[in-house]
Amino acid sequence: MDIKSGHSSPVMTDSPPLSNARLTIRQNRIPYSSAAALSQNSNLLLTVPRKKTGVLDDVKSNCWLDAMKSSSPPPTLVNKDNISSEATDMTYREWMLKYPSALTSFEKIMSFAKGKRIALFLDYDGTLSPIVEEPDCAYMSSAMRSAVQNVAKYFPTAIISGRSRDKVYEFVNLSELYYAGSHGMDIMSPAGESLNHEHSRTVSVNEKGKDVNLFQPASEFLPMIDKVLCSLIESTNDIKGIKVEDNKFCISVHYRNVEEKNWASVAQCVDDVIRTYPKLRLTHGRKVLEIRPVIDWDKGKAVTFLLESLGLTNCEDVLPIYVGDDRTDEDAFKVLREGPNHGYGILVSAVPKDSNAFYSLRDPSEVMEFLKSLVTWKRSMG
């Protein structure tokens, strides 16, 4: 298949409006219960052939390059210094009528939280750290780390990231938190805590010799992911600026630093490698193509899992709050909006976007302010 000619492509677009995104790979997933049983019966891993024709393919083939281009604000919306113009401000203010600021609505949120136990879920990139050119340099400020540390003293707190769990742990470096890496496919309790799940297992953490509990619903896919990782590194070797990131249960192919004229080659390389792996799917983040197993597991499922582990599921007196900036966070926003564990999704965005979140924050500095406000509020409650 030739990507450039716009034929069938497995690129799943996370960036276009939700109406398009709904048509994507969800039909391609297998339920987690099947994946968990893979070790007993590998036939349970159902494969869905990539169709050559039909609505799904039309959406994919028509959108893939547009999706790559739209994974960051279009240049007309943000000027070169990243300062919004007056018109953009107006559009943003209008958008905020639908997604009010979690800071200006703080009292309203807290009046709903009164008497409830808050559980906090935080995405990493673009939420706790600003988006930067080099993925390995997305450091979190020490002020943000203190804010997260303080908030975790009062509320159970989890970091939910597309990155590998080890990498996001290295960045955040707070042992008292729950971590869900690889888009929720690698969940870890804090030392000494259990995830209370029959498929979780206990491992020792070297630094302090303490035990943590792990839950890894996609562990069967590791050998396949490793193979694909090697092939991708090799096949994209000649594309200047490309970065293939090993996120353990998924792979990120970053094209942020690739010249736009070469984006088609990026997609072609990715397609050439993964076309022979029907058990993997492709999603699209901020200037990144992400390859992951087809199991029915995402950040929303990870939130539900963690609430269950914490004994906070289906409780009237629990308020889960999820803060995130990316398309992958929409799965979690949706769970909190529609599921039995009602809560608030807060979208971090400096540009208007359709979302399943209830509230918004403009950038990581507002996220920090929100976290500090939660601490002040909790302390004031005595």
Ligand X SMILES: O=P(O)(O)OC[C@H]1O[C@H](O[C@H]2O[C@H](CO)[C@@H](O)[C@H](O)[C@H]2O)[C@H](O)[C@@H](O)[C@@H]1O
Residues that bind ligand X (CB under 6 A): 123-126, 131-133, 135, 138, 161-163, 245, 247, 252, 254, 256, 285-288, 290, 326, 328
For residue 274, which of 97, 25, 93 has the smallest C-alpha distance? 25
Closer CB to ligand X, 45 or 288, in the complex: 288
Of 265, 375, 284, 378, give the one whose Cα is nearest residue 327.
Answer: 284
Neighbouring residues of 265: CB distance < 8 A, sequence distance ≥ 6: 239
Residue nearer to ligand X on the CB measure, 163 or 281 = 163
E-strand stretches of the chain: 30-31, 117-122, 157-160, 178-181, 186-188, 201-205, 210-215, 243-246, 251-254, 280-285, 288-293, 295-296, 318-324, 344-348, 359-361
Q: For residues 35 and 12, what is the distance between their CA atoms, to the nearest angstrom?
A: 21
Nearer of residues 160 and 269 to ligand X, judged by Cβ? 160
CB of 184 to ligand X, least distance (A): 9
Between helix 364-380 and helix 142-154 the angle, nearest 10°, is 30
DSSP-derived secondary structure letter, 85 = P
Give the shortest CB-131-to-ligand X separation in angstroms: 4
Residue nearest to ligand X as judged by C-beta position:
162
Q: Exposed (0-12), middle (13-18) or buried (19+): which is 136, by Cβ within 10 Å?
A: exposed
- Under DSSP, the state recorded for 83 is P
CB nearer ligand X, residue 61 or residue 129: 129
Judged by CB, which is closer to ligand X: 119, or 323?
323
Closest distance to ligand X from the beta carbon of 200 (Å): 22
Kindly state the smallest distance separating residue 167's Cβ from ligand X, in Å: 8
Q: Give the shortest CB-71-to-ligand X separation in angstroms.
A: 8
Whose Cβ is closer to ligand X: residue 11's or residue 288's?
Answer: 288
| Neighbouring residues of 225: CB distance < 8 A, sequence distance ≥ 6 | 248, 249, 250, 251, 280, 291, 293
Q: How far is the CB of 24 from ligand X (least distance, A)?
A: 17
Q: Smallest gap, in angstroms, from Cβ of residue 151 to ligand X?
A: 17
Cβ nearer to ligand X, comparing 279 with 287: 287
